[in-house]
Structure 1
Amino acid sequence: MNAEKSRLRIALVCNTAWAIYTYRRGLLRMLIERGVDVSVIAPRDRTFAPLEAMGCRCVELPVASKGTNPRDDLKTLAALVREYRATRPHMVFHYTIKPNIYGSIAAKLAGVPSIAVTTGLGYVFIQKSRTASVAKRLYRFAFRFPREVWFLNQDDRQAFIDQDLLVHPERARLLHGEGVDLGDYAFQPLPRANPQTEGFFFILIGRLLWDKGVAEYVDAARRLREKYPYARFQLLGPVGVDNPSAITLDEVQAWQREGVIDYLGEAQDVRAFIGNADCVVLPSYREGVPRTLMEASAMGRPIVATDVPGCREVVENGVTGLLCDVKSADSLAQQLERLLLSSYEARADMGVAGRAKVAREFDENAVVDRYKGTIRAVTGVSL
């Protein structure tokens, strides 16, 4: 390893360290193996310890993800400016809305090159509110500074261009998802051939947010449980998270008492839960490219998801799963029922097609190569 490479300093900034650890571990491994000094800058959570064990330097960052108080956001901005001036990273990657906005500004103030990665447009493009309007103006100001702005799907990129949120539209790039490790998420045959006797398990995996379509999922579960008592509807993911759309534990427990939902808590490793499922469901209102669906398809699970940006990138309707109308419990229930009543062979074929699509379009190795190329272009260092 040459001296220049060993001195290369790269920072990744996000509103949760968990997302860096969960979604970008392949990137982190590559950087660390090549002698790069990697800093993860995010609010402290349980993944600081495994990140540090990998060889990352973890820096606690104040981020009020749910808040709209300018003082809190200025604290985020000031903390990042101090960090960048003190450590002089050669390059910074920002993820999620507040790090994207305030991190891009901080990097400009500190004279540090940065890349903004829009992992999904979320409530800013779902809601029509004053907060969303302010966020768009902040995006437009901040996104004049990064060297490039990466989008995970074409719809999100086009939305920014159409709404004139990019002062330099030529800097917009399409990443097409963050990728999935095909070795970690190995194909598994469907677990049950006879739903009536063995049960049929649907699962929704992710942060429990209203914007993920959880209300529609619960409503569809109510209807289908009456007709098909052997159908089970599971939820896996954290409740009460720091997000304007968060669902509370009390709400989830009420659904459990009603006998509609099985809440499984949260897990760092979701593979066993995907492996036990007959179908993975995500009725989200909007996504970047959802990691859960890539992982489910990689493991050979048919999917039911909404026909929205992000989800339709992963799901080929009628081939790897089924798409339903957004914010429609009726449409979701119809597609869940259709999958429930389909033959084992038809569902297995969807799983095989899903694995092939992920291998073709979402292999993590291609994403890591994209990072390598960008790092080389900005810093002059080949990894």
Structure 2
Amino acid sequence: MKIVFSSNLAWSIYNFRLPLLKSLQNDGHIIYAVANNDKYVSNLENENFIFENININNNSKNPIKDIFLIYKYYILYKKIKPDIICHNAIKPNIYGTLAAKFLNIPVVNNISGLGTLFIKKSFSTRIAKLLYKFSQKNADKIFFQNRDDLNEFIKNKLINEKKCEVISGSGVDTKKFIPKKKVNNLKFKFIFIGRLIFDKGILEFIEALKILNLEYKNFEGLILGPIYKLNHTAVSEKVLNEWINDGIVKYLGETENVLPYIQDADCLVLPSYREGLSKVLIEASSVAIPIITTDVPGCRDVVVDGVTGLLCKVKDSKSLAEKMKLLLNMNVEKRLEMGIEARKRAIDVFDQNIIIDKYKRAIYEIVSI
């Protein structure tokens, strides 16, 4: 059968759904990827997936202006004639689902995070909720990546709970993301991995490093990730260079292969304000390094506080610094034990095969083959 995976960016499909797409392809299905055109299109086409471009303004926060997207999806889906469509990201989940309804095509949606539009109280938020309520009643299956997001939708009466299931993000390849014996680092390495946007808590990370610098010299702070200019909370190059020049942090640039950087670090720090379910946190868990992250949805779902890592308060650099100090002063055996427990949890809960099986079960139950 023909299966469409639709998201806002080709990057998103390639980085979060590739193992699932390949598994379905190996079952004999034709896979279409529908998203904005970016440099990852060639990666998808090299895997023998069929790419179809759809222009989505990811910066627009005005749902009324985005209504025309329904027509774009309608024309595209009518041309493809898929047996089922799997959406991810806010706009595909809403407008793609409405277009699929007009064509009587079954839909599996993945609500991978609420985003700033949904969380902040505004006119656009109210419109988004109405659009979610109207669109999601037409979905056949809805995956959520954490229980808090599902409960938020239930509380606002936006979905039919019977259609919903919580899955652990996109999963992690626990056979690839494995622990590696470290060379004795001269300094303890705290690493932040993610897009350089303030919603990821990068400013709190910088402020916490400043606090630690007043007492300790046996550590270093590292940042790995792209400067994400498209986001309104993006860190500018000027600000980043100021942090670097002041000796607060080292910037490692961006990469498509985070594994060696995680393996080389002593602790992964992600003080995010909210996540769907953080991929880098489950990758770090699989590599068996302790984590410090915030006590918010999508982050606390990964970490068992005091067992696989430590939780700090959100938007609180002092709380973050205290947890970083605690880990820095922790004996090696305790830190290693945290890492071991994190990997056990990654294998039991976050392995990508668990996610693939749930997706395939949903698809095959909806579409009889």
TM-score between the two structures when normalised by the length of structure 1:
0.92
The structure 2 residue matched to 1:247, chosen from 212, 215, 235, is 235
The structure 1 residue matched to 2:327, chosen from 317, 327, 339, is 339
Partner-residue secondary structure (3-state), 2:300: helix
Contact 2:63 2:124 in 1 (8 A): no
Between stretches 324-333 and 179-188, larger displacement belongs to 179-188
Could you say which residue in structure 2 is the equivalent of 1:88? 81
Could you say which residue in structure 1 is the equivalent of 2:226? 238
Contact 1:186 1:298 in 2 (8 A): yes
The structure 2 residue matched to 1:139, chosen from 132, 147, 163, is 132
Distance in 2, Cα, partners of 1:91 & 1:241 = 34
Partner-residue secondary structure (3-state), 1:20: helix
Q: Residues 251-294 of structure 1, C-alpha deviation per residue, up to 9 Å, x if partnerless? A: 22222122212222211110011011110011111111111000
Contact 1:182 1:359 in 2 (8 A): yes
Distance in 2, Cα, partners of 1:218 & 1:251 = 11
Could you say which residue in structure 1 is the equivalent of 2:249? 261
Whether 1:169 aligns to 2:161 is yes
Partner-residue secondary structure (3-state), 1:149: strand
Q: Cα gap change, 1:329/1:125 in structure 2, threshold over 3 Å: closer, same or farther?
A: farther
For these two proteins, the number of residue pairs brought into alignment is 369
Alpha-carbon offset, residue 191 of structure 1: 4.4
Q: Which amino acid aligns with 1:258?
A: D
The structure 1 residue matched to 2:151, chosen from 139, 149, 158, is 158
Alpha-carbon offset, residue 70 of structure 1: 5.3
Could you say which residue in structure 2 is the equivalent of 1:27? 20
Q: Residues 172-217 of structure 1, C-alpha deviation per residue, up to 9 Å, x if partnerless? A: 221232211111212223443xx6xx01111111122211111111
Q: Which runs of 5+ in 2 are unaligned?
A: none
Partner-residue secondary structure (3-state), 1:228: coil
Kindly report the root-mean-square deviation, in angstroms, between the aligned alpha carbons of the 2 structures. 1.6
The structure 1 residue matched to 2:173, chosen from 178, 181, 184, is 181
What does 1:107-118 correspond to in 2, within 5 Å? 107-118=100-111
TM-score between the two structures when normalised by the length of structure 2:
0.95
Could you say which residue in structure 1 is the equivalent of 2:311? 323
Contact 2:62 2:124 in 1 (8 A): no
Alpha-carbon offset, residue 57 of structure 1: 0.9
Between stretches 249-258 and 342-351, larger displacement belongs to 249-258
The structure 2 residue matched to 1:50, chosen from 30, 43, 47, is 43
Percentage of identical aligned residues: 36
Q: Cα gap change, 1:185/1:250 in structure 2, threshold over 3 Å: closer, same or farther?
A: same
Partner-residue secondary structure (3-state), 1:227: coil
Alpha-carbon offset, residue 125 of structure 1: 4.1
Whether 1:275 aligns to 2:267 is no
Distance in 2, Cα, partners of 1:22 & 1:311 = 19
Between stretches 324-333 and 106-115, larger displacement belongs to 106-115
Distance in 2, Cα, partners of 1:233 & 1:367 = 33
Could you say which residue in structure 1 is the equivalent of 2:92? 99
Partner-residue secondary structure (3-state), 1:115: strand
Contact 1:63 1:72 in 2 (8 A): no
Between stretches 138-147 and 61-70, larger displacement belongs to 61-70
Contact 1:119 1:151 in 2 (8 A): yes
Contact 1:212 1:282 in 2 (8 A): yes
Contact 1:240 1:249 in 2 (8 A): no
Distance in 2, Cα, partners of 1:70 & 1:133 = 10
Distance in 2, Cα, partners of 1:132 & 1:55 = 38
Q: Which amino acid aligns with 2:303?
A: V
Could you say which residue in structure 2 is the equivalent of 1:3? none
Whether 1:313 aligns to 2:301 is yes
Q: Cα gap change, 1:125/1:75 in structure 2, threshold over 3 Å: closer, same or farther?
A: closer
Between stretches 235-244 and 308-317, larger displacement belongs to 235-244
Distance in 1, Cα, partners of 2:49 & 2:203 = 38
Q: Cα gap change, 1:77/1:263 in structure 2, threshold over 3 Å: closer, same or farther?
A: farther
Could you say which residue in structure 2 is the equivalent of 1:5? none
